[in-house]
C-alpha cells in the first residue's frame, strides 16, 4: 500500500467530500484540514460491528422507521468539518444508493482508539451536538465494558451517563440496547 499525500491547502466540506471519494482509506475534515484515520485493531472492528448489529436488531424489533449505517458514511458538522462516525442511526426514508452524506443522524457512535480518544471525547462531543438532529452520542471502549452515553437535554445541556452494565435507553428514537449484546456475555 502506498502512502497518500494529504492536501496541504484547506478544504471546504464539499471539496473534501469530492476528494475523499477518489481516495483509498478513511479521512476526516476538521476546521478545513484533512486527517487520515489510523488502521483499526481487531477489538475496535469487533465492537463497532456488534454495536451496529445491536442497534439494527433494536430498530427491527421495534419496527421503527430508522436505519443503521456502519462507518463509511459522512456527517457534515459545518462548512469545513466532516466526520465519519464508526456507526450511526438516522430516521426517515432510505437514502439514495449514491449518497455519501447523512444529513440528520439521531445517534452517532465512535469507538475509542489510542489515536483518537481525546478528540472523540472532547472535540467530536461538542461538534456532533451542534447538529440539531443528534440526540445521542455514544463513545464506546473496545477494551472494557464501558460506554459514555451523551444525550441532548433541555436547551444546550448535554447529559452524560457512564454505562458499565445493563442497557442504554435511546429515546428518541425509542429503543434500548443491552451491553451484553455489544460486549457479549
Q: What average pLDDT does range 58-62 have in this prediction?
A: 98
Q: List domains and CATH numbers for the chain.
A: 40-183 (3.90.1570.10)
pLDDT of residue 113: 85
pLDDT of residue 98: 94
pLDDT greater than 80 at residue 5:
no
pLDDT of residue 117: 67
pLDDT of residue 122: 78
Q: What average pLDDT does range 11-25 have in this prediction?
A: 94
pLDDT of residue 119: 67
pLDDT greater than 60 at residue 1:
no
pLDDT greater than 50 at residue 2:
no
The pLDDT tens digits of the residues spanning 30-48 come to: 999 999 888 889 999 999 9
Q: What average pLDDT does range 86-95 have in this prediction?
A: 97
Residues 133-152: b if buried by 16+ CB within 10 A, e if exposed: bbbbbbbbbbeeeebbbbbb
Using pLDDT thresholds of 50, 70 and 90, give the confidence band for residue 120: low
pLDDT greater than 90 at residue 107:
yes
* Residue 12 vs residues 20, 27, 45, 100, 158: alpha-carbon distances, Å: 12, 14, 29, 16, 28
> Residue 25 in contact with residue 37, Cβ under 8 Å?
yes
Amino acid at each position: 500500500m502506498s502512502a497518500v499525500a494529504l492536501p496541504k491547502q484547506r478544504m471546504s466540506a464539499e471539496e473534501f467530500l469530492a476528494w475523499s471519494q477518489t481516495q483509498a482509506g478513511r479521512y476526516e475534515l476538521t476546521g478545513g484540514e484533512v486527517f487520515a484515520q489510523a488502521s483499526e485493531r481487531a477489538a475496535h472492528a469487533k465492537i463497532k460491528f456488534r454495536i451496529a448489529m445491536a442497534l439494527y436488531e433494536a430498530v427491527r424489533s421495534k419496527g421503527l422507521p430508522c436505519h443503521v449505517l456502519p462507518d463509511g458514511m459522512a456527517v457534515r458538522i459545518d462548512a469545513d468539518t466532516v466526520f465519519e462516525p464508526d456507526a450511526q442511526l438516522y430516521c426517515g426514508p432510505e437514502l439514495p444508493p449514491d449518497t455519501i452524506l447523512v444529513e440528520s443522524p439521531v445517534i452517532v457512535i465512535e469507538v475509542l482508539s489510542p489515536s483518537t480518544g481525546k478528540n472523540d471525547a472532547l472535540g467530536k462531543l461538542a461538534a456532533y451536538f451542534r447538529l440539531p438532529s443528534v440526540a445521542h452520542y455514544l463513545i464506546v471502549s473496545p477494551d472494557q465494558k464501558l460506554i459514555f452515553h451523551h444525550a441532548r437535554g433541555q436547551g444546550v445541556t448535554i447529559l452524560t451517563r457512564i454505562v458499565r452494565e445493563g442497557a442504554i435507553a435511546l429515546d428518541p428514537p425509542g429503543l434500548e440496547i443491552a451491553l451484553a449484546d455489544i460486549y457479549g456475555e
